[in-house]
Amino acid sequence: MFTSENPIFEFRGPFGVPVQISPSLIFLVFLYVGFGGGAREMAYDLMFLVIVMGSIFLHEVGHAWGSLVQGQPVRRIVLNGCGGFCERERSATRYEQELIVAMGPIVNAVLWAVSSLIAQWIYDPEIYWVFATVAWVNLSLLIINLLPITPLDGSKLFNLLLCRIMSAGFARRVCGFVGLLVAGVCLLFLAFWLVIDPLGTLNWWLVVALMVLLPAMPAHWRMLLGRAA
C-alpha cells in the first residue's frame, strides 16, 4: 500500500541511504493534527506523530543497517501514511534476510528499553511525557510488528525460522494458516471495538490497523494454498 507514490521530498539519511517522504504521510499529519482541540492539544498531537514517525524511521534504518553490513545495497527508505519500508537493490539469501528483518524490531526494543529507563529519572511532566511516549510507541510497534501477519516483520521472521526446519513450500503453508488465524482474530477484535466504541479516541489507529489486516487475509489464504503472497 502506498508503494507507488511519487515522493514530495528526499534527503540523505544515515549511511547515505536516500530517504523519501510520500504525500500520504503529509496528508496523515494534517488529518490527525487538524482534528485536535486548542493549540496545546495540537502541539501534543504533532509531537506524538513526530515520535511515531521517528520511531518508524529508525526501525527502517535498522533494516538498512542489516542490509548494508552484509554487503546488500539499499535503494531507499520510504516514509508514508501507512508507516514505511526499506527497499534493497537486490534480493538477499534467507540467512541474510534473518538479520535484515530482525534489526527493525531490535531497534524498537532498544528504544523502548532506553526510554523507559530514562523516564524513571525525569521529574518534569512534559519531558517525562516525551520519554514515556517514546517507550510506549516503540513497545507497541515491537509487539504489533512481531505478529505473524504479512507484510509485518513477524510473518517474515516466522517464515524464515520455519524454513530452517522444513521445506519452503510447507513453511509458506504454515505461515498462511497461522497468519490467517491471527489476522482473523485481530479483525474480529477491532470490529467489535469499533461497534462498542464508535467515537473512541483510538479509532484513527483502528482504521489504520484494518487497512493493514484486510489485505492480509487474502494474502495468507494464497499462502495457505501454496501460492506466493
pLDDT digit string, tens, across residues 169-210: 999 999 999 999 999 898 888 777 777 766 555 555 666 677
Alpha helices in 88-149 (DSSP H): 94-119, 125-145
Q: Is the pLDDT of residue 58 over 80?
A: yes
User: What is the rounded distance in angstroms from the CA atom of residue 96 to the CA atom of residue 165?
Assistant: 17
Same domain? For 134 and 152 the reply is: no
Q: Is the pLDDT of residue 73 over 60?
A: yes
Task: Check if the beta carbon of residue 221 is closer than 8 Å to that of residue 178.
Answer: no
Same domain? For 109 and 14 the reply is: yes
What is the predicted pLDDT for the residue at 17?
95
Predicted structure pTM score: 0.89
- In the sheet where 83-88 sits, what is the strand order? 9-12, 18-21, 74-80, 83-88
Same domain? For 228 and 200 the reply is: yes
Q: How many domains does the chain have?
A: 2
Same domain? For 181 and 140 the reply is: no
Cell numbers given for 143: 509487539
Same domain? For 78 and 191 the reply is: no
Domain endpoint, select from 104, 126, 146: 146
User: What is the rounded distance in angstroms from the CA atom of residue 85 to the CA atom of residue 146?
Assistant: 15
- Name the average pLDDT for the chain: 88
Same domain? For 40 and 59 the reply is: yes
Task: Check if the beta carbon of residue 103 is closer than 8 Å to that of residue 142.
Answer: no
Same domain? For 70 and 99 the reply is: yes
Q: Is the pLDDT of residue 1 over 60?
A: no
User: What is the rounded distance in angstroms from the CA atom of residue 206 to the CA atom of residue 185?
Assistant: 14
Same domain? For 115 and 33 the reply is: yes
Instruction: Identify which of 186, 125, 124, 118 has the alpha carbon closest to the alpha carbon of residue 154.
Output: 186
Domain endpoint, select from 117, 146, 175: 146
Same domain? For 97 and 117 the reply is: yes
Average pLDDT over residues 56-79: 96
Phi/psi for 20 (5° steps) reads -115, 140
DSSP at 52: H
Domain endpoint, select from 146, 163, 187: 146
Same domain? For 104 and 161 the reply is: no
Task: Give the H/E segment covering residue 150.
Answer: none
Count Cβ atoms below 10 Å from residue 199 Cβ, excluding itself. 6
What is the predicted pLDDT for the residue at 4?
66
Question: Containing domain of residue 141, as a range?
Answer: 1-146
Same domain? For 3 and 22 the reply is: yes
Same domain? For 101 and 134 the reply is: yes
